[in-house]
Structure 1
Amino acid sequence: MNEIKTVREAARDVPVVSTSDVLVVGGGAAGLGAAVSAARNGASVTMLERYPHLGGMASGGMVLVLDDMTNGAEITVTGIMSEVIERIDRIGLAVYPPEDDRRLDEAMFRRWARWGCNDFHQPGKLQPIIYSVAFDPDGWKRVSLDLVKETGVNLRLHSWFSEPIVEDGRIRGVICETKMGRQAMLADVVIDATGDLDVAYRSGAEFTQGAYIVTTVFRLGGVDTDTAEAFEWEQPDVYRKLDRQARRIIGGAWERWWLKTPLPGIVWCNCPHMTGYDGLSVEHLTAAEFDGRERMVNLLEFARANMPGFEKSYLLDSGEQIGVRQTRLLQGDYVVTKEDIVSRRHFPDSVCRGRDYYTPYRSLLPRGIEQMVVAGRHYSATPEAQKMSREIPPCMAQGEAAGIAASLALNGNVPVREVDPAAIQKQMRAQGADPGDVPSANAASLDAAE
């Protein structure tokens, strides 16, 4: 039998299942920020999500520490991100250091480092404690659904984006795949919050492609964390030797391969870190699942046999969504560079912030496609810059700004590209968010207006 290279799909009519002012594709942190923000500003909003829950990497991917939202002197990511944290905290599923504990102090470091609340950007064995939040993934899911319900967002889960609907260089909506077959959703503005630039890419947007580590995150239960921490501090030489062995077995991890969570006895393992996998390839992603599973089981067996506190531990669960950090990156009206991030370069059209960097509105706008905004780790940046500016809180801030931009375009009857960044900044402030319109004292003095 001859090998078949391609098949031809039959033309078909696709039913329209929703028509709204704004369509958000992707229900991760950026998508949630965009949908809630747009709805609160008067837009009718539909949100499309492939998984049976919201949260993306914060829930299905189990990235269970929120960081990159303070420069030490001030909290730079607020707004809807702060609201989500407060809501998760109210149901007892968030932990973070009080303001008095946020300092460089050995006692504070011992208290908070295993929560992931140390500033790992500052080298050294002793790092200052900063504002970071350890949280439970189900808490994020619950809070996300509450926000969507309260704001009247038309949420469509179990719906996998397939292709955009583009006419004369303007996006009109998207088609998705569902158990009921293909369905179409139409909107005046589309926000691509897919993380891999799926909508903009298939619409013809310019992009570059990068690669970084991928991770099959997992959690262990039955850990005596008091015993494990006491061993680390009371027998440091023995601990370091075993820890090095554990890190070799897992094959790649941050400085601390396990961290505490709000649930007693359950620890989060943001590992293994695996290189050489393409986050867009079905074959690579499948191989990474096999690879990661083998490594986590080997680590569990080693920890049970050798590490105090882990004798009765067990594999509780692993992320239903593999941790892909970088794939396609938009090449938009402005491309953020590593130098922009490192120098803390301030932009007059900054609409949100990260740890101590600024995101211009232009970096959320694809070239050549009208009525589309992007928000999330696939925003317009070089691969080097994206590695330093891709964490969950700044992505949610991007989404909040994108939702405001969409509502301003609709309310003012202007194209999204022509929305005044000053108006976005003003509304971000009104919502309790920091758009980065006022630079920090240590920001680069040269504005990037070109």
Structure 2
Amino acid sequence: MNKTVTWGSFEIPVVDTYDVVIVGGGVSGSACGIRCAEEGLKTLIVDQMNILGGSATNALVCPMMPSYVRHLPILNLIEQELLQAGQATRDNYTTMLWFAPERLGEVYEKLFYERKGQVLYHTVLVGVVTEGRQLTHAILFATEGLIAVGAQSFVDASGDAVLARAAGVPVVSGDDEGINQVSSLRFTMGGIDVEKYRSFVLSLDDCFSPLVEGYFFESAMVAGRDFKLEPLFRKGVEAGILEEEDLRYYQIFSIPGKPGCMALNCPHIASMQKNTTSKARSKAIVEAHTRIRRLVTFLQTMMPGFENSYLMEVAPLLGVRESWRVQGCYLLTEEDYARQARFEDGLVRGDWYIDVHSNKKGLFHQNTYEKGDYYEIPWRSMVTSTVDNLGVIGRCISTTFLMQASIRIMPTVTDMGDVMGTACALAKASSTPLALLDGTVIRQHVEAGLA
């Protein structure tokens, strides 16, 4: 192994070489790491935070959206670990898996380390070294400064296509005007009398949530959509506590294992139409902090059940639903959704609706599926024609803007990570770069693992 690698004018120490380096330890990256380690590959996950799970843990994005199709073993393994820990629930009313965010991160870390995986926390990608069409090293900024790691296969699970962009892979962002889906900054509150809150909501004949008993509850309000809570929010505006934009979207739900605590999927930060600069994201976060304080004050002052409540946590990570998407070997489109597309190299099944949090049109949902319907995500949407030994998983795979709004949920991106791990094992066994693997062969191996 070379002790240093040249990157521009820098000679950077190579600290280790791996079979697989995964940039991003979110839902898809963690699943990929677990599968790779399960296959005996020497695997490294690089993550900017201090807990695995990405948006699910650090942006407080819980629960896991429902899915009615066959899923792969890693997702089932994660769910069983969560349920056994008692900090997740199948609530017997909805089909969602609700979980405590930090517990999900602990489960990812446990499963990965039990299989001898390695993580570099508080570490970010700053560049790559290439030879022809191959990545040879990732350049990282870590506690000790600039370091390099080598690998046979590299996986971009960053959500923002960070590794792919550094490697020169073409990307697109946003809709046809370059406008991204709305981002949110979630927060949690404690000290809530959930029963009093539930009783008030149900007294309004609010039928949004089927959770009418037990400590667990969920409710929501979207301005202009005839939600029963809107008149009270309007009174908050009249009292000068809220502003009109605060009524754009409100959703709140209990957290498993934490009675009296609830997580809020808001505020929506519609003022940030393009989220692809640090300046834009920073400005949005500042705005969100102000709006969170208004929402907390409103709930404490005017919402039954919140009289003794308090702000527990503001998410340390902005909830970005969509940013860059790679231009891969196959562009998955909304037409593929409509026709329930099947492919010879179809590896992952998706069935979530086209769920766009639009800056221009508000919430936009296209749902034409019945239970059991699905489309397939082909291997070609997870590799590129630019870099041979690079795989891409998660929300930044090769799709259109609308189709990305369907593939981005946790069950689907978990399965992407699972199949990418299988592909990395095949790449090592055959000494073949990821993009040159036959997707039909990967499919055979995935299906064999379900037998």
Establish whether TM, by shorter chain, passes 0.5. Answer: yes
Q: Distance in 2 between matches of 1:253 and 1:85?
A: 34
Give the number of aligned pairs. 391
SS in 1 for 2:446: helix
1:206 and 1:134 map into 2 onto residues whose CA distance is 36
| CA drift at 1:243 | 4.7
Deviations 1:193-252 (A, max 9, x none): 110111111111121111111111101111111111111112338744215667974836
Q: Which one of the candidate residues 164, 173, 180 is aligned to 2:144?
A: 180
Question: In structure 2, what is the equivalent of residue 38 of structure 1?
Answer: 36
1:91 match = 85
Q: Tell me if structure 1 keeps the 8 A contact 2:159–2:395.
A: yes
Identity %: 26
Cα distance change on mapping 1:243 and 1:236 into 2, 3 Å: farther
CA contact (8 A) 2:387 2:435 kept: no
| The one of 346, 349, 352 aligned to 2:345 | 349
User: Is the alpha carbon distance of 1:78 and 1:261 closer, same or farther for their aligned partners in structure 2, counting shifts above 3 Å?
Assistant: farther
Map of 1:223 onto structure 2: 192
Q: Look up the equivalent residue of 1:87 and give its one-letter code.
A: E
Structure 2: distance between partners of 1:253 and 1:56: 27
Q: Indicate the residue corresponding to 1:325 in structure 2.
A: 321
**Matching residue of 1:151:** 115
CA distance in 2, matches of 1:46, 1:289: 30
> Aligned to 1:313, which of 306, 309, 312?
309
Contact 1:231 1:239 in 2 (8 A): no
Instruction: Give the Cα–Cα distance (whole angstroms) in 1 for the partners of residues 445 and 87 of structure 2.
Output: 30
* 1:399-428 deviations in Å (ceiling 9; x for gaps): 111111111111122232232323322333
Q: Residue 56 of structure 2 aligns with which residue?
A: 58
Structure 2 unaligned blocks of 5 or more: 1-6, 175-179, 207-227, 352-373
Alpha carbons 2:350, 2:406 under 8 Å: kept: no
Alpha-carbon distance between aligned partners in 2 of 1:430 and 1:32, rounded to the nearest angstrom: 22
Cα pair 1:246 1:299 within 8 Å, conserved = no
- Shifted more, 171-180 versus 419-428: the winner is 419-428
The SS at the match of 1:257 is: strand
Change (3 A) 1:347 1:251: farther
TM superposition shift of 1:268: 0.9
Q: Is the 8 A contact 2:187 2:314 kept in 1?
A: yes
Which amino acid in the other structure matches residue 312 of structure 1? Answer: N
Deviation at 1:137, TM superposition (A): 0.9
- What is the match of residue 358 of structure 1? 376
1:132 corresponds in structure 2 to 96
Partner of 2:17: 19
Residue 386 of structure 1 corresponds to which residue in structure 2?
Answer: 404
Change in CA separation of 1:68 and 1:389 when aligned onto 2, cut-off 3 Å: farther
Distance between the aligned counterparts of 2:419 and 2:26, measured in 1? 15
Q: What residue in structure 2 maps to residue 76 of structure 1?
A: 70
Q: Is 1:367 matched with 2:385?
A: yes
Which segments of 5 or more consecutive residues in structure 1 lack a partner in the other structure?
Answer: 1-8, 99-111, 118-130, 434-450
More strand by percentage: 2
Question: What amino acid maps onto 2:142 in structure 1?
Answer: T
Matched residue, 1:190 = 154
Structure 2 residue 134 is matched with structure 1 residue 165: no
Does residue 286 of structure 2 align to residue 290 of structure 1?
A: yes
Mapped to 1, the partners of 2:441 and 2:66 lie a distance apart of 25
When residues 257 and 209 of structure 1 are mapped into structure 2, their CA distance, relative to the original with a 3 A threshold, is same
Q: CA deviation at 1:27?
A: 0.4
What is the alpha-carbon distance in structure 2 between the residues aligned to residue 245 and residue 369 of structure 1?
Answer: 56
**Offset of 1:372 from its aligned partner?**
0.6
SS at match of 1:173: strand
- CA contact under 8 A between 1:352 and 1:398: conserved in structure 2? yes
Cα deviation for residue 20 of structure 1 reads 0.9
1:268 aligns with one of 257, 263, 271: 263
CA distance in structure 2 between the aligned counterparts of 1:408 and 1:432, rounded to whole angstroms = 17
1:446 corresponds in structure 2 to none
Which 10-residue stretch deviates more, 410-419 or 324-333? 410-419
Structure 1, residues 160-194: CA drift from partner, whole Å, max 9, x if none? Answer: 11111211121112001012110001000101111
Counterpart contact for 2:233–2:247, Cα < 8 Å: no
Q: Distance in 2 between matches of 1:370 and 1:420?
A: 13
Could you tell me whether the CA contact under 8 Å between 2:346 and 2:377 is conserved in 1? yes
- Counterpart in the other structure of 2:434: 416
Deviations 1:260-316 (A, max 9, x none): 111111111011111242333111111111111111111111111111111111111
Contact 1:209-1:327 within 8 A present in 2 as well: yes
After TM superposition, give the deviation of residue 42 of structure 1 in Å.
2.5
Matched residue, 2:366: none
Amino acid at match of 2:169: A
Change (3 A) 1:39 1:353: same
Task: Give the alignment of 1:94-113 within 5 angstroms.
Answer: 94-98=88-92, 112=93
Partner of 2:209: none
Structure 2: how far apart are the matches of 1:369 and 1:228?
Answer: 53
- RMSD of aligned residue pairs (Cα, Å): 2.1
Shift of 1:397: 1.0
Tell me how far 1:68 sits from its aligned partner: 4.5
What secondary structure is seen at the aligned counterpart in 2 of 1:352? strand
CA distance in structure 2 between the aligned counterparts of 1:253 and 1:147, rounded to whole angstroms: 40
Instruction: Identify the residue that residue 121 of structure 1 maps to in structure 2.
Output: none
Post-superposition Cα deviations, 1:371-421, rounded to whole Å, max 9, x if no partner, equal 110001000001111122211221111111111111111112223223232
SS in 1 for 2:11: coil
Confirm or deny: 8 A CA contact 2:271 2:284 kept in the other structure.
Answer: no
Is the CA contact (8 Å cut-off) linking 1:26 and 1:48 kept in structure 2?
yes
C-alpha distance in structure 2 between counterparts of 1:330 and 1:367, whole Å = 11
